[in-house]
Structures are given as structure tokens and as C-alpha cells.
Amino acid sequence: MSVTLREYYSKRLKKKTFGYEVEIITQQKRIREAKRGFLTKTSAREEGERRELELKKKAQQGYDISDVINKDKTKITVKELLELWLATKKTNITNKTYLYYENCIGMINKDFDKIKAFKLKSESIELALNKIIESGLSSSTASHYYTVLNTAYNWAVNRGYVPKNPLAVVKKPKRTKSEMKVYNEEQLNKLLEAIKCMTIYIPVMLAATTGMRLGEVCGLKWSNVDLDNGYLQIKEQLQEVDDKLQLIPLKTASSKRKILLLDYTINALKELKNKQEANKAYLGDNYNKEGFVVCQNNGDPYQPSYISRNYKRVMKEYKHKVIINDEHKELSLYELLDIPLIRFHDLRHTHATLLLKANIHPKIVADRLGHSDIKLTLGTYSHILPDMQQQAVAELNKMIKK
């Protein structure tokens, strides 16, 4: 769902005018509407957004979510119940959490949307969870499915919409912890050297050398970077909210933090700043003045989803033609460099792993990552602890002699 603004030239008025285009995709149906002739961008945007809300309401099968509140409770469907629960949660959760709930509800609705909420059977839920696992989806998906449905039904019981929670007797699917993939120092250096002239370099470098999350990387501004004293401060994150990029508060108080920078990071950022200053001088007023560190040539920030897609494209999808043993091959970058293929978020894990292997105290690691509790850090990176124990025993052996 989105509103796009367009510029036009009116021959009659002999001046620039504006228009909007609205596009909504719902239940595999696409609705488009366009209108022009507005004298200002603001009036075109306001009318476009007003019309967008109207079309969205029509697309919701002719009912407003507030109508569910006064509906006969025995006639409320699972879909209506979940949508009402989500609507009441919206102002108390982050946009990322809202999208997570929305995604899970989409899966649940495929199974139970037209079933009356009070008639949903425990056995039906168990079969749906089994189907998720058998279809090849991860145990985490099944666990998220259960959690959202269970939370919504507990809310519905407390509010009197249903007499009982059918998940009370359903066991939550166990999440099998997949092995964490990270780079060692040699592999990380290989990657950074290979992508140094690419757009993805700065985001990858920041994530791997500071442990920042993707939204924090995209939302970082020069006003929060002190290269002379070698640190940056995380104060907000950039996220896509209702199809628009917005700087939003961090999820927890501990996420606001100061991170000391490596010499490597400082040098890379100094070089980047010089390039951006040149772009700013060339583009003048057409350069975005908000001061994003990770940005396009005109200063506009990148969508976090674009960075994630671009990383995948660079690492896996783009093929490099090489000759190996007189044989022509097409290899992805990770194959060419002989390194693991990991997710962008795993660069954050790489940072934490390298710190712990360097015997940095877990409390320092937790502070750099913005973890609220050191237990979270130790739990997440428990796979490293056996190696650290071996190093500790080796040091004690030197201290305690025969």
C-alpha cells in the first residue's frame, strides 16, 4: 500500500502541478487510482493519503475493525478476533513487532479465518502446527505461529470474547537451535577487501566492526559520530513504517549506547566523509541535509530492506566468471573467496564472536551489542564458551606450577 506523488506541467495554467497515485494490493486484488491538478505537493499528498485510507477500508470486506467490538461474540471469526487484538496492540509495540504479528496472523488466517473464534479446536491447532513442520518450514516458524495465537486468545479470554483458550492444552513446538554461522578474522578480512569499492562495503564494515543492527546502521547520522575521539553513539534506528522511512526509538533503553571504534573503522569513515563532502558540494541544495552516514550519492538514506537484498545479491546472486583448472565456472562471491554464506545479521554475531574469542569480558560485549542483560549475551554465544575454557585452563597451567 502506498501513495506516489507525481509532477506535471499544466499548459492551461502555464505552471507546474502535482498529482497522486494510490495502489493497494489486498487478497490478491490490486486497486489503483490516480488524480492530478493539485497546485502544491502538500495538497496532493494529503488528498492521496485520505483516499488511500478510504480504499483500504473498502478493501477490508466492507467492515471497520471497530465494528467487531459490538458484534455478537458467538459470530466473531478467528480472523476478526486476531485483527481486533492486533489493532489494540499497535500503539504499544514497535513497527517491526507489528509487522511480525501481522505476518504470523496472515499464516493463521489461511488455516482458520472463517472459523468462529469460540469454536476453534485444540486438535485443529495441533494439526496446523504439524503441517508447518512437515512442509519444511522451520520450528521457529511453528513456535511464532503458536505464540501469536496463544497471546491473542489469552487477551480474548480476559476481555470476554471467548470462554477459554484452546491453546491451553497444546504444547508449544520446540525450537531447534540452528548452528550459528560467523566469520573468523581471516574470512572477514577477505570479504572486506573484496567489497571495498561496492555500495555494500560501509554497511558490512559497520555491522562487523561495531556489532550494530541493520536498522541502527541505516539510521546512523554524522552528528552521532566523533571520529576525532573514535566513537559513535546509537540513539535511534531507521525502519520502514507504513511504506515510509522513519527514524524511530530503539527497542530498549540498553540499545542506546556508545561504541568505541576500531582504527580500521575510523579510517574507512573518514574516507567516506570526504566523498560525501564532495557530493554535497557538487549537488548543493539537492543534497539531503539530514546527514546520514550510510546513504545514496544525494544523501538520501537507504531502506534497510534494500541493504539486506543488496548484500544477498553481492554475496550469492551475482556470478563471477573464472577459470579453474582450465574449466570455465561461474561462482558466487562467497564461493570465490571460499568463505561461508551468512546473513547480514550474522555480521553482528561475527563481531561478538571475535570479541569473546579475544577474551574480552562478556559484559563489554553485551554493552557493545546493546543487550539488556549479560545472560542474553552468554546464552546467545554459549557455543564459544568451551573454547574460552580451554584458553583459561592453559593460562592457569602457566600460573599454577608443579
Pair 21, 74 in one domain = no
- pLDDT score recorded for residue 249: 87
Instruction: Look at residue 402 in the predicted model and tell me its pLDDT.
Output: 59
Tell whether 44 and 80 lie within a shared domain.
Answer: no
End position of a domain, from candidates 109, 142, 169: 169
Residue 333, domain member (yes or no): yes
Tens digit of pLDDT for each residue in 131-183? Answer: 998 988 888 899 999 999 999 999 999 999 999 999 999 999 987 776 788 99
Asked whether residue 65 is assigned to any structural domain, the reply reads no
Residue 174 lies in a domain: no
Q: Left (φ > 0), alpha (ψ -120 to 50) or beta: where does 257 sit?
A: beta
**Reported pTM:** 0.70
Looking at the structure, do residues 39 and 121 belong to the same domain, yes or no? no
Q: Are residues 196 and 298 in the same domain?
A: yes
Q: What is the pLDDT of residue 63?
A: 57
- 120 belongs to a structural domain: yes
Q: Is 80 exposed, middle or buried, given 0-12, 13-18 or 19+ CB atoms closer than 10 A? A: buried
Give alpha helix (H) positions in 200-241: 201-210, 214-219
Residue among 293, 316, 313 nearest 305 (CA): 313
Taking the chain, what is the end-to-end CA distance rounded to the nearest angstrom? 73
Burial classification of residue 202, based on how many CB atoms lie within 10 Å of its CB (0-12 exposed, 13-18 middle, 19 or more buried): buried
Kindly report, residue by residue over 26-81, the tens digit of the pLDDT: 544 567 788 888 888 888 888 888 888 777 766 655 556 777 888 899 999 999 99
The predicted pLDDT at position 5 comes to 87
Domain limits at 345? 185-388
Cα(148)–Cα(170) distance, integer angstroms: 13
The domain tally of the chain equals 3
- Asked whether residue 210 is assigned to any structural domain, the reply reads yes
What CA–CA distance (Å, rounded) separates 160 from 25? 33
Inside any domain, residue 175: no
Q: Are residues 206 and 343 in the same domain?
A: yes
Structural domain ending residue among the three candidates 139, 169, 199: 169
User: Residue 275 maps to which CATH number?
Assistant: 1.10.443.10
* Long-range contacts (CB closer than 8 Å, 24 or more residues apart) made by 389-393: 391/359
pLDDT given for residue 60 in this prediction: 57
**193 and 309 both lie in a single domain:** yes
- Please indicate, yes or no, whether residues 247 and 380 belong to a single structural domain of this protein: yes
Strand partners, 8: 17
Q: E-assigned strands of 27-143?
A: 29-38
Using the 3D structure, point to which of 169, 202, 219 is the last residue of a domain.
169
- Is the same domain home to 368 and 238? yes
Q: Is residue 397 part of a domain?
A: no
- 234 shares its domain with 365: yes
Cα(32)–Cα(21) distance, integer angstroms: 7
- Report if residue 148 sits inside a domain: yes
Same domain, 372 and 230: yes
Residue 148 three-state SS: helix
Q: What is the pLDDT of residue 386?
A: 66
- DSSP letters for 153-190: HHHHHHTTSSSS-GGGGSPPPPPPPPPPP---HHHHHH
Examine the domain organization and report whether 372 and 255 are in the same domain.
yes
In this structure, the answer to whether residues 258 and 294 fall within a common structural domain is yes
At 87, which CATH number?
A: 1.10.150.130
Closest Cα partner for 222 from 282, 169, 273? 273
Rounded mean pLDDT for each run of 10 residues along the chain, 402 residues in total: 79 84 67 84 86 71 71 92 92 82 93 94 96 88 95 96 96 82 95 96 98 96 97 93 82 90 97 96 94 96 94 95 89 95 95 91 92 87 72 81 66
